[in-house]
Amino acid sequence: MKIELKKFGTTLTSRQLGKEAFAAFLPTLNSIPKREEIEVDFEGVTTFTPSWGDEFLTPLINNYKNKVLLKNTSNSSVKATIELLENVGSMKFQIKS
C-alpha cells in the first residue's frame, strides 16, 4: 500500500499532529495484511521534522519493520530527519530510489 504524506499536510512538524495523523491512519493500516509492503511517499512534503516523524514513522517501523519503504526523500528536511531518527533509534530506513 502507498501512503502519500502530503495528504496529511505539506508542513509536517509537530508531534501532536504526527500523532493525530497516525491515529487517523491506523484503521486503514489495520485492514491490510501484515506481509504487504508499505510505501511512504514524501512527494509534495515541503518541511518534515523528527517530532512528526517519530509519531508516524517510528510506530510504522515498529509494526511493519522491513516492509516499510520510504520514497521521494530528496527534500533537505526529510533527509535530515531520516538521519536523526536512524541515529536515535539505531535503525536503518529502507529508501526506494
Partner 1 sequence: MTKKLIPIREASGLLNVSIDTLRRWDESGKLIAVRTGKGGHRYYRQEDIDQYFSNIFSLAKSWAFSSTPTEPEDTYYCQISSVFQARLATMENTLRQFGTSGDISPLITAITGEIGNNSFDHNLGNWPDISGIFFGYDPTKRMVVLADRGRGILETLKKVRPELENHNMALEVAFTEIVSGRAPEARGNGLKFVKQVVTQNPISLIYQTGDAKLELGEDAPEIIIQQSEDSFHGCLALIRF
List contacts with partner 1 (CB under 8 A). Answer: 10-11, 13-17, 46-51, 54-55, 75-78, 80-81, 83-84, 87-88
Cβ nearer to partner 1, comparing 22 with 67: 22
Minimum CB–partner distance for residue 72 and partner 1 (Å): 14
Print burial letters for 25-58: b (CB count within 10 Å at least 16), e (below 16). eeeebeeeeeeeebbbbbeebeebbbbbbbbbbb
CB of 51 to partner 1, least distance (A): 5
CB of 15 or CB of 37, closer to partner 1: 15
Minimum gap (Å) between residue 19 Cβ and partner 1: 8
